[in-house]
Structure 1
């Protein structure tokens, strides 16, 4: 590790701003799980009280005006950009104008979850690791890779189920889910009230990504996925009436963010690579990594899709997976939109990562690499035209 990286690691562990943002992010995620954070009265939940205490103490030490209550801290999280919070931070750790809560819905942003999982005491709770580790272990013990793949495909393609579907799916899957049928009840939960259209008495899915749309404070519909928002106004998809089929069951947020969204993009990328002549396997080794790509010349890539707001937080997690199944190079694919929005994304990522692997590429860079390794201009690897989005809209690259 270089001297600069050693310095950044020290700054991260000792900087008051890092401790503050971790604490507040954890509190906002916790509050979103149990109800309306603005409605809380004393005594506050433990995570929320710690976050409020940390913020107040930091403000007092810096002679700044602190929030006077938890509702005021929630307003800070929704309205105050993170680079304007009290305390000091290592360089480039928060994107400009980024916030922990979406102002229109008071729901945690993707960045909020990224900071919550950076806190060691809450990482397992607020990430996908706990549930996916259970699924992987069960399928490994029974030597049932088909069940693991079926589980990943379900989470990827069906972020919403009706209660009736949830109850009947394990039996209807003809054994495909194997030992994982009961795990569905842990990862699909009754849809929160914030997603409910009370006039229609139904939940409404996004026509693009199929997760549930959230109502804003102004009564509009909002999708939590960046890519859908960038495509424009939310599009109504399937409706889930409260009185039909027992209502909607929504995949929990960490799995929507790090498994469902990621899986959809890894599927599309795998299809492009397979069409070009590569040997492609999704989620090999019971989820050791996203895609195993073997080329005719013998080179094997381990590919993971990573759509993170903060390149610094992503860089801190940049450790290659265990070499089982084996690979020659490890690649993390990030949306090209991230690099367009933040030209320093790659530089910041590289400054914070602890090792030289994995390599960071956009989807188009990976496809160009594949084209060189295959030595062809096969249709599956052509990237001269924008790729159509899930509803037919043209987008830049795959992501």
Structure 2
């Protein structure tokens, strides 16, 4: 497992540093270390090792992890999972999950940025600025340079002490995302992050929830020089804040519809949602759409701060539990504490509906929002 963390972290670092450039020696230290460790493990197991970093990248993109020479527990890796998307060589969500599982890779987490934002807003007693900041990351993963300059002072922005953070977390859009044939960046119509061209001439969205739809939907297009240039929210915030936030906002609307009182990101983001049920019970809820239930279970812990609550719940998409029926049992096996509970989003909605007695006839899952229409 330590070796897999090393390889995953190297793949993430390479995606950040190389862009579309070919890999040349000397390789980055972290990547060279991952290559050396993988080669040594293979030799000890009398297996053929990767002979170069480009070959290790090919392994990460084309070779399922359960087909690598070394082994990890069967319940840690979903069958057929890879670290890189084969068509774009971009890290998969699972790759980031493995990378952040290493304690030293805090820069691949959302925590440094969100902690700074929470501290500033708490010091100035400005919860509205934190809420606006969080909504911005969720709803606008792509900004132009003009947006970066004008948003902090606009009525819509209300970012208070956080305006200058935008220049740290929105970086110039990587050239690898540019559709060179048409000369544009294209946003996903569902989640609004930039689509990545594939080697087959298609477009790829990094969010699995979007890829599971019938097809990738093209949204707004940006010329590279639009309003001074195109900027993309950094990947850790897209993965750990934006993606979860979209689902939390959507889930909040469903819970309110069934009688719950919902506060998003209470206590300057101490947890995702504070849900007060019709019977008076208060839940601390966070949405967690992880590929590996084992890695998610290893991180399971109730929030240590924020408004008080009666129960702590981590919510995963019902589709995830249907796809991996063993997800819940593996999570239970690896978590170090009895809290939080694990529920599907549908189970949480049912908990709200049943908290003050059985629901009326005919009410139920059919009135849930469609997958599209997140905004």
TM-score with structure 2 length normalisation? Answer: 0.96
**1:204 offset after TM fit, Å?**
0.4
Q: What secondary structure does 2:185 align onto?
A: strand
Answer whether contact 2:278 2:352 (CA < 8 A) is retained: no
Correspondence for 1:289: 271
For residues 279 and 305 of structure 2, the distance between their equivalents in structure 1, rounded to whole angstroms, comes to: 19
Question: Distance in 2 between the 1:39 and 1:363 partners?
Answer: 42
Aligned to 1:127: 109
Cα distance 1:84–1:48, how it changes in 2: closer, same or farther (>3 A)?
same
Residue 79 (structure 2) pairs with residue 96 (structure 1): yes
Structure 2 gap segments, 5+ residues each: none
Name the structure 2 match of 1:194: 176
> Is residue 118 of structure 2 the alignment partner of residue 136 of structure 1?
yes
Determine if contact 1:52/1:73 at 8 Å carries over to the other structure.
yes
Task: Please give the alpha-carbon distance, in whole angstroms, between the structure 2 residues aligned to 1:142 and 1:283.
Answer: 17
Root mean square deviation of aligned Cα: 1.8
- The answer for the alignment partner of 1:83 in structure 2 is 66
Give the Cα separation in 1 of the matches to 2:370 and 2:64.
33
Match of 2:198 among 194, 198, 216: 216
The question of whether the paired residues in 1 share the 8 Å contact of 2:189 and 2:219 is answered with yes
CA 53–171 in structure 1, closer or farther in 2 if over 3 Å, else same: same
**Other-structure match for 1:11:** none
Partners of 2:305 and 2:132 lie apart in 1 by: 23
From 45, 48, 56, the counterpart of 1:65? 48
Residue 173 of structure 1: CA displacement?
3.8
Alignment partners' CA distance in 1, 2:170 and 2:164: 11
Deviation at 1:249, TM superposition (A): 0.7
User: How far, CA to CA, are the matches of 1:175 and 1:97 in structure 2?
Assistant: 43
Q: CA separation in 1, counterparts of 2:232 and 2:335?
A: 34
Deviation at 1:384, TM superposition (A): 3.0
Q: Is this contact kept in 1: 2:198–2:204, CA < 8 A?
A: yes
Between stretches 296-305 and 110-119, larger displacement belongs to 296-305
Task: Rate the CA distance shift 1:308–1:266 in 2: closer, same or farther, 3 A.
Answer: same
Alignment of 1:363-382 (within 5 A): 363-375=345-357, 377=359, 382=364
The unaligned stretches of length 5 or more in structure 1 are 1-17, 393-399
Superposed CA deviations along residues 118-172 of structure 1, whole A, max 9, x for unmatched, are: 01111x1111111111111111111111111100000000011111111211111
- Tell me the SS of whatever aligns to 1:39: coil
Q: In the aligned structure 2, how far is the partner of 1:300 from the partner of 1:292?
A: 7
Provide the rounded CA distance (Å) in 2 between the counterparts of 1:380 and 1:303.
27
Matched position secondary structure for 1:370: helix
Q: Is the 8 A contact 2:19 2:175 kept in 1?
A: no
Alignment equivalent of 1:231, drawn from 195, 210, 213: 213
Count, aligned residues: 374
The 5 A counterparts of 1:292-331 are 292-331=274-313
Cα–Cα, structure 1 residues 378 and 144, in superposed 2: closer, same or farther, change >3 Å? farther
Using the size of structure 1 for normalisation, the TM-score is 0.90
